[in-house]
Structures are given as C-alpha cells and as structure tokens.
Amino acid sequence: MPPIEPPSLWNATWTRPQVAPVDLPHEADVVIVGGGYTGLWTAFSLVTNDPATRVVVIERHQVGFGASGRNGGWCSALFPLGLDDLARQHGRDAAVALQRAMFDAVESVGRFAANVDTASGGGDGLFHRGGTLTLARSDRQLASIRREASSARRFGIGEDDIRLLDAAEANAMCAATGVRGGIFSPHCAAVHPLRLVSAMAAACRDHGVTIVEGTDVTDITPATATTPARVHTSRGDVTAEVVVLATEAFTTQLPGHRRDCLPLYSMMIGSEPIPDERWAEIGLDDRPTFADARHSVIYGQRTADGRLAFGGRGAPYHFGSTIDPVHDTDEEVRRRLVATVADLFPSLADVHFPFHWGGPLAVPRDWHPHVRFDRATGIASAGGYVGDGVATANLAGRALADLILGRDTELTRLPIVGHRLRRWEPEPLRWAGIRLVALAARRADDADAAGRPRAAAVWDRVYTTFRG
C-alpha cells in the first residue's frame, strides 16, 4: 500500500476521483515514469499531437502524489535563473525566448483548465489568474526588486509583463507590515494543484493513455541498436521505444541517479476559512499569489474558499538525499511559518492553521531545469524546476513530446532543451554545502530584518557565492 499523504489543505478540499485499476501492458511506444505534471503533460501532448502513439504512465503511488499534488498552487512564469544568468549561458535571444515561452506556459495551463468540466476537476478554484506580487519590506529587498525590474527592461520586457510598484500601490494590493514597494506580474494564476493533476489524468485517460498506479519502477534498461528499452517494475517488465523519466525529486531513488538533483523539502500550512472582514484588511482581492524578497523563500495564496495557503523553504536537508514520509511535516518549520504569517499580517495572529504538510522538490546543481532525449538509448527526461514547476512542467512536457515525435518547433529550440546536468557533490560535501547555503540565507534575512546592512551584505555574498 502507498504511504499516506500528509494532511494537506488540498487533500481536505478535493476528493480524488475513483478509477478502476488497470493491468500493466507488456509493450508501448512511450513509457513515462512518474504521474505528476511533467509526466502527464508529456503524455497529453504526445497523444493530442499523434493519437496513434501508445503511451503508458507508471506511477509508484497515485497521480499527483509528489510535488504536483501538494505544492503552493502557483502557476507562474517564474524561472529559477534570472534573465542575466540565462543570457550569459545561452545568449540574449535565447533568454528572451525562454521568458516569453514561460509567459505562454501559464496561458497554456489556463486554456486547459478552461476546458475542464467540474466532474473531472474543473469549476471554481481550479485556475484563477490574479498575477503575482513580490513585496519589498526592507532597503535590501527594495533594491532587489528594482534590479529585477531593471533587468526586465534591458531584455525588452515591459510594464505590461513586469511592473514596479511604489509603497502605496503595493499596500493597496497586499497590506502586509512594513511594505515599501513591490513588483507585480500578471503572468501567474492561483491553482488548486491536486484538482489540476486529477483533471490532467482524466484528460490523458480520455485520450487513450494507460495510467498504471501503485507500481514501483525498479530499474530501466536503455535501448540498443537491436533491442528496445525496458522498464522493470514490481509488476513485470514493459518494453518501449522511449522511456521518459518524469520523477523530479524522486529521481534520486532510481539506480545511478542519486546525485542528479537535490531533494529539498518545502513546507506549507493551511488556515481555516478567514472571515471576509479580515480579508478586507489584508487585500489580495483578485487573489494574486504573493511573497516578499527575502532569501528564505516564502509563498502564499488566498484560496477560492477564503483560506490562506502559505509555505516556505527552510526545512532541513536530509543526509544522503533521503526522501521519507516522516519528513513531510516538521513542527519547528510549522511554528516558523505561523509566526511569519503573524509578522506579515498581525490581524491573522489568532487564526487557526489546522493543515501542515510538505514534500521534496528537485534542485539541480546549477539551478537550471532541463529537457533531454537521446534517441539512441530511448531515454528522455525533464525536470529540475526548483519549486516553480506548475507552468514549467507544461512547457517541458510539450517540448519533450515534440522531441520524441521528431518535430522541429520553437519549443525544441529553447535553452532548456539539451541542457546537460552537473551532478551534485558526494556526501558529506553535499550535506555541508546545502546546510551552509540555508544558514547564509537565514543569517542574511535576520540581519536585514534587524537593520544590520553590513552583516546582511556579508551573508548575502556567502549565499550568492555558494548557492549555484
């Protein structure tokens, strides 16, 4: 039996549709390992572009069990690397093309959601495009968002896409404490992540995709010149021309892939319904997702049913890239998140947060998501979203489908395609490095909040130097 999922707000407000179990086929054209956003978008894109393609998705537990079903519900055009970093690696035109493709990915998810009926996961609360707001609550944070806006302008990204706000404008959108300014982009939607992944699975099944749940993939044998690839599972083997690894943080549990990415835990809390008069004090009227510009990432949304879903990084990295259900909750992190909400919104200090959950996300060594396909071995993969995967997985899945089908498109020419991974250092260097980054982030934020600019600058330099 699969482990019990953590008590998330999303599980409490959406019941998974009951689906009859299916047998594991012995062969397919494409086998996708992983039933999250990446796997399902790849499957959906394959069968909608070529309905004759026999696609099998194999999921160890149930679709959306990992980050896809328990994330913060941001369908955003955010990318782990900024435009300047992308331009240094790939050139200015490639950086702009990728940012524009990310804008379109949000629209792509929105178009899908608009066509989903309520019975299979749609209706109110599935997708609401209210944009995203990053608040500046200190001098350093104000300088950070100004640099972000300036960078956008240098790359031809105008105010319709990214707009700098003064203190009054930012406060009018979100009346958090100490707001000195903000930056807003319309390219983000608040989603119910578990409803979205359920709707995607239903759409895949409707188009002929076979989804096999409760099946563990134990190994993968690449194709040779004379034999197809083979996926070894707890229920038998499947042969295929193409095998897609769409396992994100859980990639580290596949043989030979432990150092491909770093499984970093992110945690959330969810509130009881908050009265309208309290929301009138806070704002977020059009339900923009929101954060501030601290190093230790926080993220929140006002849900369709009037709750606050709020999360942040800061859970400890577990030695050896361990992933275990016991890590899905952490009382110290929960307390810090509740305290952060009270600091942002003192009027919510007495609000009850009955839900606490988390899970691992995938961090590549260079913070750079990838899409790859080696036709000789039949092995394809996509992932490494660093927590911004709802829209990025849509983009990656569509690009991966084009690669597999041999289509030369704008998507297959994006700089995420063909990107080669740097492997993480072996232990104990991996553990020491990520702990140092987390410490530097917390120290920089603490110094910043206390008004110690020189100390903040020192820890900011340590964080920037060692993060990538």
Q: Determine the pLDDT at residue 456.
A: 58
At residue 323, what is the residue type? I
pLDDT above 80 for 460: no
Q: Determine the pLDDT at residue 421.
A: 87
Cβ atoms of 55 and 211 within 8 Å: the answer is no
* Rounded CA separation 33/407 (Å): 22
Instruction: Indicate the range of 118-132, 158-172, 415-429, 454-468 predicted with least confidence.
Output: 454-468
pLDDT above 90 for 31: yes
Give the contacts of 453 (CB within 8 A, at least 6 positions apart): 139, 140, 447
Confidence band of 117 (pLDDT split at 50, 70, 90): low
H or E element, residue 347: none
Q: Determine the pLDDT at residue 437.
A: 84
Cβ atoms of 137 and 150 within 8 Å: the answer is no
* Rounded CA separation 351/139 (Å): 30
pLDDT above 50 for 116: yes
Q: pLDDT tens digits for 170-201?
A: 999 999 999 999 999 999 999 999 999 999 99
Q: Give, as one character, the DSSP assignment of residue 186.
A: S
Cβ atoms of 355 and 311 within 8 Å: the answer is no
* Rounded CA separation 28/243 (Å): 10
Q: pLDDT tens digits for 264-301?
A: 999 999 999 999 999 999 999 999 999 999 988 999 99
pLDDT above 80 for 155: yes
How deeply is 172 buried, as exposed, middle or buried, from its count of CB atoms within 10 A (0-12, 13-18, 19+)? middle
What the block records as the tokens of 89 is 């690696």
Mean pLDDT over each residue of the chain, to the nearest integer:
93
Question: Strands, E, within 297-443: which ranges?
Answer: 298-302, 308-312, 355-363, 370-374, 379-383
* Rounded CA separation 184/161 (Å): 8
Domains of the chain, first to last: 20-126+191-261+367-424 (3.50.50.60), 427-468 (no CATH)
CA dihedral sign, ordered 460, 465, 466, 468: positive
Q: Determine the pLDDT at residue 467.
A: 56
At residue 327, what is the residue type? H
Rounded to a whole number, what is the distance in angstroms from the first to the last CA of the chain?
38
Q: Determine the pLDDT at residue 1.
A: 43
Name the one residue in this structure whose structure tokens are 């990432």.
Answer: 297
Nearest CA to 148 among 160, 133, 159, 164?
A: 164
Q: In the chain, what percentage of residues exceed pLDDT 70?
A: 94
Cβ atoms of 337 and 109 within 8 Å: the answer is no
Q: Determine the pLDDT at residue 121.
A: 59
At residue 73, what is the residue type? G
CA angle at 335 for the pair 195 and 356, rounded to the nearest 5°: 20
Cβ atoms of 261 and 424 within 8 Å: the answer is yes
| Cα separations in angstroms, 348 against 161, 306, 319, 353 | 31, 13, 36, 10
Instruction: Indicate the range of 19-28, 251-260, 312-321, 410-419 predicted with least confidence.
Output: 312-321
Q: pLDDT tens digits for 398-445?
A: 999 999 999 999 999 999 999 998 999 999 999 998 888 888 888 888
Instruction: Indicate the range of 301-305, 368-372, 408-412, 464-468 predicted with least confidence.
Output: 464-468
Q: What is the pTM of this model?
A: 0.95
| CA torsion angle 358 363 367 373 (round to 10) | -120
Q: Determine the pLDDT at residue 89.
A: 96
pLDDT above 70 for 120: no
What the block records as the tokens of 113 is 């959601």
pLDDT above 60 for 112: yes
